[in-house]
Structure 1
Amino acid sequence: MPRSTQFWARSSISVRVMGPLIDDASAGETASRPLAPTTATLSATPATSRVRCRNCERAAKTRIADVLLMNSVFRTGSGSDERLASPRGALMTTDGGLESLGTLQDHEGCRDPAALFASSDENRYSRLLWGRGRLSWAARATPVGGAPDRLWQDLRSRTGSEAERILDSHICPLHGRCGQSNGRGGDAVELRILGELQIQVAGRPIELGPLKQRLVLAALAVDVGRGVPVEVLIDRVWDGSPPADARGVLYTYITRIRRLLAAAALVEGVSPITLARRPGGYQLEAADDRVDLRQLRTLSEQVQQLDADDPRRAQLLRQAVELWRGDPLDGLPGDWAARVRERLRQQALGTLLEWAESELRQGRPGPVADRLSQALERDPLTEPLVLHLMRALHLSGRRAEALDQYARTRSLLADELGVDPGSELQLLHQRILRDESVRRPVAVLEPTPPPAVTPSQPVEATEPDEQDQPDDIPHAGRAGRGCQLPPPLPDHTGCEAEIEQALTALAQPQQTLTARPPLILSGPGGVGKTSLSVRLAHLLRASYPDGQIFVGLDGRRSDPVSVLNQVLRALGVSNVQQLRSTEEKLGEYRSTISGRRILIVLDAAVSAEEVRPLIPGDSGCALIATSRARLTTVPGAHHVELTMFTPEQSLALLGQIIGADRIAREPEAAETLVELCAGLPLALRIVGARLTARPHQRIARLADRLRNERYRLDEMTADGLAVRLSVAVSYHGLDPAARRVFRLLGFMGAPTFAEWLGAALLGEPVDVTEELLDLLVDARLIEVVPDPVHRTLRYRMHDLVRLYAYERAVEEDSTAELHTAVARVLTAATGLSERLGERLPHAVPPLYRQPPMPVSLQSCVLAADHLRPGWLDAEGACLVAAVERAAELDMDAAACALADALVFASFAVRNDFVSWDRTHAAAIGVARRTGNRVAQAVIECGIGLLRYKEDRFAEAERYFPAAVTLFDEAGHQAGAAAARNGLGTVLREVGRHHEAIPLLEAAAETLARLGDENGAAHARYGLGHCHRELGDDTAATTRLGEAISGYRTLGHWRGEAIATRAIGLVHRARGELDEAEAWCTRAHALIVEHQDEHITCYTSQALAKIWLRQGKIDRARGPLERSLATCRRLHDRLGVALVQRTIGELHLAAGQLDDAARVLELAYDGWQALGHDLGRARTLRDIGLVRAAGGDLPAAHTAWTDALAVFTRLGTREAAEAPGWHRACGPGCGFDCAGSTAAGSLAVSAA
């Protein structure tokens, strides 16, 4: 029967119907042809209760009728069969009877059958009429009183007692202990992921539909509370091979899941689990207590707050263990489900082991032994399970069973994997043999020395375990078992220099009797140490013919004695258990290899203590050890450091795996894939294996999936390889404090960082943080990145390691802890930025100041290096990441404060438009989401200033008015004045001086009244600029003098220099060139003194133009060329156009007319792109002069006429100068100069 009916029906009841079910995809086709009789079957379970509340009974009747009508076609009249409803159908009633039927398409107010069959007596059902082979809406709607009851009565009359039996069986099973007047039953609706995917209603699972539909639900469920893009859903459901109409099919499943959730909602009268549309995808929403995966996370957060010996810890972990019902997402096929399943399995194992440890600490080994015995039946090779089970058995007094378990495990490992138990398991075995306490974890126990033997104490013979002496082990003293090396990787590539270096060290015969130095291969996890060691060992087999031994450790710290035991067994020593002391074992080791040529490979060592005892004393033997640590204390070792692959090496390795021809077909996608793997060979091997397994899959498809950081580590698994597991080995080897700073650094997401960031995250002094960072460096989880430019020491976390750290932070740290840590970073960064900004010249004052940095935080992050000017340059990327992370966490005030502080401290000074744009895009988003209108206004101002600095004046003009409105509404006078100041600045820059003046006047008055002398000086400078352009030189000089006075009082040398230059331009416009040169020289000297290369461009241009008027052409050339290069490098488009126009004048003055025309045309294009009418008109004026000088008077006349129209519209002083241009060309120009008062023969305007 159709799955959609199984929720509502349980036992076998047959109802005679006519025709098959009408499916969505073929509704129209089916409706147009006769329907054959069929039988629909509904199931029912025996009723558990006959108690019926009115609401519960009413809802049950409605839903059962709905199911029957949605999935069946009933006989409705004597002698005639009427087709009723499809899954999108509706029954029309007027008097309780069945009037007509058809397929109901989506329509306003009638999108869901549940809406039609609601339990309201006031419901009005629209009638569908069947006519001429199609459906149409009736002209009216018929009110139906008591619709559910009447509908039920009609169905009951047609099905007899069957309907009553179904009703009896559904009221209580549907609602649990109903019997309540409100119809709401006991248990709630729950989503269960930790086992078979289920939605449970009142403790019973409901049918979820076909397989693909369950996959869609699973794909949403694992990210409950987060939006999942449609592309990701398609990829998860169809494993990278979607059908052509995947989106349409997906939408069908989404619709069905929504109906299913709506049906489940009847239990509570509300929707406890909902499926919502989100931009680009869908999001499953549910309260934490309705989803077992979220319950698990909540319990984990609570556990993290408790000490290891707290009894509440075991209780919480027991609840967490009980959430697991079996294999997660059991029965769902596909690679994605397998990856999620494996990740959750590892999480389940970790939870189980943590619970077992807590129970053992509390002295309750019995429950641990019982539960772990069951778990081990499913995973008999999982050594941590065996370890805890053996401890539990021993602590329960079942020592013999513990030893038997060890023997079984060792036999299984040997048979299945060809390896011995790990060092921890071996050490535990020895302790149980000696009947020692194992209450504490074995990993923290030191090896217990054998008891001293005295004459009064007889020596007890120790029978060696039979498993220690398999038949195939040679007798003691026999060297080696031949080649024990794993096979080399056939596609190993790269590391040619390292291989040559190692072969030189190990392949040549020793010329002395001294021992050969060991070779240490070190590097981060996944960088290829093991594969390189195996390749080297195979290359060296001829040099070591007596044996090649490979001993793989587990990457965790091991007892050196247990490592020595493994090596002895590998060498064929059979009496290891009889060698009681370390000295005896070392002697056996040395005598075994003496006089022979044996190569020993020790893989995944953790400490030098594991390696030192194994250094061969015989010159004919050699030792290769791999380790993530550098093992610098191994005496005489030859060290080879492995690093990440270059892009070229990465492409070569990928080509070896998937074939060079495949890369040649998609070179750009292959480069993207390599970039996302970030040079990690393990990641490259994984993506290569996945592509090899799917020869039909395009590289671009996998690259697209890896672009989403949230799922990248999920994608990087294949055939037992996983980047996540590789990083986890290093992570779990850290102490808790180092793990915490690792998680928090990953959560912040900074590409590089200095020690202050760790200090702020932890709230600890820098010296404490430096020690923890050193531990992360030793574990290869971060690397040191010298910064010679800023002479600082920085750290970097590999992209894939950062993603793992982020995952651990989200899983292990509470939301409150993460928010607190990020808040400390934002507070520290804002405080440091503001302090540095106070030392720099700034265009506008900060508007959104946060409270001062707390003294406790100052002691953590303040240092002399942090208050030097280069600090902001070095920390730029880190600070941008901090703003973006705060915005993601909806920390609106903190994000906006730092973004605003960085404007005047860094971005506006250095024209760092990219960082400016990123921070403000993040900040405006969070301000709008949270409704923080003041913060929004501040950032609107910041974006307006950014667009102004980018010379995107039209866009800048849109932002400032919005900020003015928001500030006025909030009563924020300083902010409103600053926004008016910004808007006035934009308007005067584009020549709209009459509009700018009132805005700047209002801003100057308000800011001066509020004590903001910097803002007032800025507004006064703008007023002086406007009056100069309009020809009011007296007002211009007055306002500019006021600005200079204000800037000088504040020590704002940049503002003073810019205003001083502006007074020079007033004198230049009046033809007073000596005075102009004096003022501009003073401004230039002030700027050069403070090494501001950007403003130097403008003071140099002003002086060069004066020199051109004075005839000093050669003196002007060099400064103009340097200024043009600087403006281009700083992306100052306005500066480029301004300097190009002046260079055009230089060529004109030198008589180089072709060069002048070419450069002026470039300048004209620049002004045109900027939308800067005044600059464009001035360039047209100069182009006219070039045309006139070349004798093309009509062209000159045209250029001047166009320019004059702009000057007249804007009211600038050039409008009065225009007749002089024409007079200089003589009567051939044809321009009427009558009445002109202009005396000059050439342009003498201000700019």
Structure 2
Amino acid sequence: MRHTLYVYIARLRGLIAAAAAADGTVAAVVRRSRGYVLDVDPDRVDVHRFRRLVEQARDPHCPDTKRVALLRQALALWRGTPLADLPGDWAARVREGLQQQRLDAVVCWAEAELRRGNAGDLVGPLTDLIAEHPLVEPLAALLMRALHSTGRTATALDCYVAMRRRLVDQVGMEPGAELQQLHRAILRGDLDQASGWGRERSGHAVPAQLPLDVHGFAGRDTELCQLDAILTAAGEEPTTVAILALTGTAGVGKTALAMHWAHRVANRFPDGQLYVNLRGFDANSPATRPDEALRALLDALQVPPQRVPASLAAQVGLYRSLLADRRVLVVLDNASDADQVRPLLPGSPGCLVVVTSRNQLPGLVAAEGAHPLTLGLLSTDDARQMLARRLGPERVAAEPRSVDDIIARCAQLPLALAIVAARAATHPEFPLGMLVADLGDSSGGLEPFSGGDPSTDVRAVFSWSYRTLSPSAARLFRLLAVHPGPDIATTAAASLIGAPPGQVRPLLAELARAHLVTEHPAGRFAFHDLLRAYATELVEAVDADTDRSAGACPRP
């Protein structure tokens, strides 16, 4: 092995010596500290020259004409992807860091060109860079400014709309405060060309990122009172951050309740409201990483990209420093687990955090003292009130028996009720009894609750929770569908999969943490009718006849 290494080193030295002789480069492979080092003049290495030129350009006393020339030289050194074809985490981190340095240099160059009145020269290069980096907001801001400065205001506004759509679709969040302010300034026609921002930009950022309140929200009076009580109690704890962990099964209305309540209490947080969709359970996108969420939060707090630290720990420290002595409401929607949430928690009192998740988040409750609030199915009265809000009280009052049948068939699940209500609202001439007949014709399946949008398709929404299960827990969930009776004991669940009770208890706990079953007193477990229907579809599609027949045991 050592002999092979020496052979490779000798070959490298020969190649480097030949190259040095050709262009006059002074370079050598030398042995140092029990290893080998390529000893070369830093000015012969493009990354060192790039950094030196950028550092000179950032000198505050450097005139813009010279600054532009220096940055053009620096950016001209880029040819393709750094460390291309080099595998490993280290190379990936270095590549990411170098790409960020390049983007920072581009932003500095473009700002200088704008100050010199050369907006027209920026449109093409910035358009190409945005195609390469479609989620980098400073690039979009510069392109909007360049377009507006050259009289293409409509195109500048279209650029904002496209960036917003990409952020919402791919990351689940609105543009940052600075980009929103720029958009408003262009709309009002009061853009300050010298600074690039509207006249409203002063003081610290006051973000207002809450999504729209839910149309037709109804009921949940008990839960709203509980949330109010927790907020009141938080004011009496001067040294802690209040954290609400709002959990429940898929489609039960966690986000709807969180948004409705957040809008009710937003005026108690004068320093702003932050919102991030963490996409813990999502059909189209992977879960948002903590560093991605932190960058979005820092952007909403008007932290320039060049000020965002590289490490996650430093980002957390900056985020918590910015929120110190401020009253901010932070909504972390659709979390996968406690580890995804922890870096996003403020460190000073005065802030309130609302976390929604299908996971019970026991770690967040135990370690961070989060207040757990499990959201159950709607009561019959709340379900009727929801339908009345969406369909009109007269229509609901005219067919009380049909309304009761709809509520029962929807298992009092808000998402299912919303889907049926939407169908009824689009056909106001149809009697509700006709919808009941359609629901009955489905033989207890989920077809009446499906649609083209995965976010409003009961089967799809359930599947996002199911896919997080371990194989053994997923099999147990499927086989629970063949058990007769409304609930099941641990011993009976063990007989379903042919395992001792000691092995089944952790699986039932996993299902309960994911809110795919509900644990009742005396160690019994149950799930509502629509989850049973989903499990039935899965067991028929996945499991063999032997599994199903083995599971058909009498109810204990």
Q: TM-score, normalised by structure 1?
A: 0.29
Whole-angstrom distance in 1 between the partners of 2:486 and 2:133: 46
Alpha-carbon spacing, 1:571–1:669, altered in 2? closer, same or farther (3 Å) = same
Structure 1's 810 and 505: CA in aligned 2 closer, same or farther, altered over 3 A? same
* Match of residue 740 from structure 1: 475
What pairs up with 1:965-1044 in 2 under 5 angstroms? none
Identity of aligned residues (%): 31
Q: Is the 8 A contact 2:472 2:507 kept in 1?
A: yes
Q: Does residue 824 in structure 1 map to residue 550 in structure 2?
A: yes
In structure 2, the CA distance between the partners of 1:403 and 1:818, relative to structure 1 (3 Å rule), is farther
What secondary structure does 2:276 align onto?
Answer: strand
Aligned to 1:649: 382
Q: Who is 1:622 aligned against?
A: 352
Letter in 2 for 1:593: L
What does residue range 599-638 of structure 1 map to in structure 2 within 5 Å? 599-634=329-364, 635-638=368-371
Query: Does 2:295 align with 1:565?
Result: yes
- Residue 702 (1) aligns with residue 435 (2): yes
Which of 216, 224, 239 is residue 499 of structure 1 equivalent to?
224
What is the CA–CA distance in structure 2 between the aligned matches of 1:561 and 1:477, rounded to whole Å? 27
The answer on whether the counterparts of 1:565 and 1:576 sit within 8 Å (CA) in structure 2 is no
How far apart, CA to CA, are the structure 2 residues paired with 1:759 and 1:597? 50
| CA 621–580 in structure 1, closer or farther in 2 if over 3 Å, else same | same
Shift of 1:489: 1.8
Match of 2:406 in 1: 673
Q: CA deviation at 1:512?
A: 5.3
- Which one-letter code corresponds to 2:509 in the other structure? D
Q: Quote how far apart the aligned CAs of 1:643 are.
A: 0.7
| Contact map agreement 2:214 2:260 (CA 8 A) in 1 | yes
Given that residues 331 and 353 in structure 2 are in contact (C-alpha distance below 8 angstroms), is that contact kept between their aligned partners in structure 1?
yes
Letter matched to residue 416 of structure 1: R
Out of 781, 794, 797, the position equivalent to 2:527 is 797
Alignment of 1:1006-1155 (within 5 A): none
Tell me how far 1:607 sits from its aligned partner.
1.1
Matches of 1:579 and 1:511, distance apart in 2 = 34
Q: Give the TM-score of the pair, scaled to structure 2.
A: 0.61
C-alpha change, 1:670 and 1:804, in structure 2 (3 Å) is: same
Count of aligned pairs between the two proteins: 379
For residues 747 and 417 of structure 1, the distance between their equivalents in structure 2, rounded to whole angstroms, comes to 44
CA distance in 1, matches of 2:177, 2:269: 27
CA deviations on 1:416-447 (whole Å, 9 max, x unpaired) are 26527349xxxxxxxxxxxxxxxxxxxxxxxx
Q: 1:738 to 1:477 in 2, by over 3 A?
A: farther
Q: Work out whether residues 601 and 623 of structure 1, in 8 Å CA contact, stay in contact via their aligned partners in 2.
A: yes
Alignment partner of 1:515: what SS? coil
User: Which consecutive unaligned segments of at least 5 residues does structure 2 have?
Assistant: 1-127, 141-160, 183-196, 282-286
Contact (CA 8 Å) 2:207, 2:300: kept in 1 or not? no
Q: CA deviation at 1:508?
A: 7.0
Assess if the C-alpha contact under 8 Å between 1:479 and 1:593 holds in 2: no
Secondary structure in 1 aligned to 2:360?
coil
CA distance in 1, matches of 2:548, 2:414: 33
**1:221 match:** none
Q: CA deviation at 1:563?
A: 3.1
Whole-angstrom CA distance in 1 between matches of 2:499 and 2:464: 26
Q: CA deviation at 1:633?
A: 2.4
Q: In the alignment, does 2:488 pair up with 1:762?
A: no
Residue 663 of structure 1 is aligned with which of 362, 384, 396? Answer: 396
Contact 1:757 1:825 in 2 (8 A): no
Offset at residue 694 of structure 1 (A): 0.7
After superposition, give the CA deviation of every residue in 1:186-226 in whole Å (9 maximum; x if it has no partner).
Answer: xxxxxxxxxxxxxxxxxxxxxxxxxxxxxxxxxxxxxxxxx
Unaligned runs of 5+ in 1: 1-400, 424-466, 787-791, 830-871, 877-1247
> Match of 2:269?
544
Residue in 2 aligned with 1:584? Answer: 314
2:240 to 515, 520, 539: 515
Which of 402, 421, 424 is the matching residue for 1:691?
424
2:53 corresponds to which residue? none
State the partner residue of 1:205: none
SS of 2:242's equivalent in the other structure is coil
Taking the aligned partners of 1:576 and 1:752, their CA distance within structure 2 comes to 57
> Distance between the aligned counterparts of 1:537 and 1:604, measured in 2?
15
Deviation, 1:530, is 0.5
Question: What secondary structure is seen at the aligned counterpart in 2 of 1:520?
Answer: strand
Give the aligned residue type for 2:277.
Answer: G
Displacement after TM superposition at 1:471 (Å): 8.3
Aligned position for 1:483 = 208
Q: CA deviation at 1:470?
A: 5.5
Structure 2: how far apart are the matches of 1:752 and 1:509?
Answer: 38
CA distance in 1: counterparts of 2:133 and 2:538, whole angstroms? 33
Which residue in the other structure is 1:713 paired with? Answer: 446
Secondary structure of the structure 2 residue equivalent to 1:684? helix
Partner of 1:407: 134
Residues 406 and 421 of structure 1: CA distance in aligned 2, closer, same or farther (over 3 Å): farther
* SS of equivalent residue, structure 1 residue 407: coil
Provide the secondary structure at the position in 2 that maps to 1:583. helix
1:716-731 correspondence runs (5 A) = 716-717=449-450, 720=453, 721-731=456-466
Q: Is the 8 A contact 1:523 1:628 kept in 2?
A: yes
Residue identity opposite 1:810 in structure 2: E
Q: Which has the higher contact order (CA 8 A, sep 6+)?
A: 2
Distance 1:596 1:800, change over 3 A: same
- How far off its partner does 1:626 sit? 0.9
By how many angstroms is 1:695 displaced? Answer: 0.4
- Quote the offset at 1:568 in angstroms: 2.4
Question: How far apart, CA to CA, are the structure 1 residues paired with 2:343 and 2:533?
Answer: 38
RMSD (CA atoms): 3.4
Whole-Å separation in 1 of the counterparts to 2:203 and 2:262: 21
Q: Distance in 1 between matches of 2:402 and 2:395?
A: 11
Q: Distance in 2 between matches of 1:638 and 1:403?
A: 42
Deviation at 1:707, TM superposition (A): 2.0
Aligned to 1:733, the other structure's residue is in SS state coil
From the superposition, tell whether residues 468 and 642 of structure 1 become closer, same or farther in structure 2 (CA, over 3 Å). closer
Change (3 A) 1:520 1:589: same
Give the secondary structure class of the aligned counterpart of 1:518: strand
SS in 1 for 2:355: strand
